[in-house]
Amino acid sequence: MSIRAVLEWLAATQWSVALHESLYVWPFLESIHVLCLTLFVGTAVMLDLRLLGVAMTHVPASAFTRRLLPWTRAGFAIMAVTGVLLFTATPLTYYHSLFFRIKLILLAVAGFNVWFFHARTHHRIGDWDSAVRPPTAARVAAVVSLVAWAGVVIAGRLVAYNWFECDLQPQPAFVNWAESCILPPP
């Protein structure tokens, strides 16, 4: 069974149709999703600025990873749950959306960066905890984090725009390929 077939089934469920057509539930979920950017990306950015050595350099880096990261994780959890729920409202639209696909790729990059930082860089934090300028590996992780999460936010916002929608042909061949558009036979 292809991914698209599963999403076709999902889109036909009562849940999906109800959420899609709801007057308030969808905007409510979307609002939580957006407002949680402050908690999730906001606190992540604070850690990144510290890792770059450009802000709050008097605070040990470990204070951020021990005391602030739980809030970052909570923010991510809420964003993930609301994000998945929002996806189920119009799964096929997202499946064929160029910006949504870009967002997923950037999410993977950001996720890998989080994993790499915690698996490799973070366990030696004792060596550079109070350093105003953390080591290169930590600063690179901070830059990748800032760029990737900013990209996720921008791509996420642009999902709402239908410039590249499969239904609005003609589209450049690259777009049709990148979105897996199903084109009528010529």
Partner 1 sequence: MIPSWLPFFEWCEATGLGQLVRTSTWLFPVIESVHLLGLCALGGTVLIVDLRMLGAGLTKQPLDALAAAVHPWLKASVALMVSTGFLLFMSEAVKCFHNPSFWVKMATLPLAILFTFTVRKRVAARPGLDTSLLTRVTATASLLLWFTVAAAGRWIGFSS
Binding site for partner 1 (CB under 8 A): 27, 30-31, 34-35, 37-39, 41-46, 49, 55-59, 63-64, 67-68, 71, 149-150, 153-154, 157-158, 161, 163
Residue 132 token pair: 């105003």
CB nearer to partner 1: give 104 or 158: 158
- What is the C-alpha separation between 28 and 42, in angstroms, rounded? 21
The continuous run of DSSP H or E covering 142 comes out as helix 136-158
Spatial distance between the Cα atoms of 106 and 184, rounded to a whole number of angstroms: 31
Element (H, E) at 38: helix 25-52
Nearest residue (CB) to partner 1, 10 versus 26: 26
Smallest distance from the beta carbon of 121 to partner 1, in angstroms?
20
Q: Min. distance of Cβ 50 from partner 1 in angstroms?
A: 10
Pick from 135, 138, 134, 118: which is nearest to 72 by CA?
118
Q: How far apart are CA 35 and CA 153, in angstroms?
A: 12
160 or 182, CB closer to partner 1?
A: 160
Closest separation in Å from C-beta 57 to partner 1: 8
CB of 46 to partner 1, least distance (A): 5
Contacts of 121 (CB under 8 A, 6+ apart): 135, 137, 138, 141
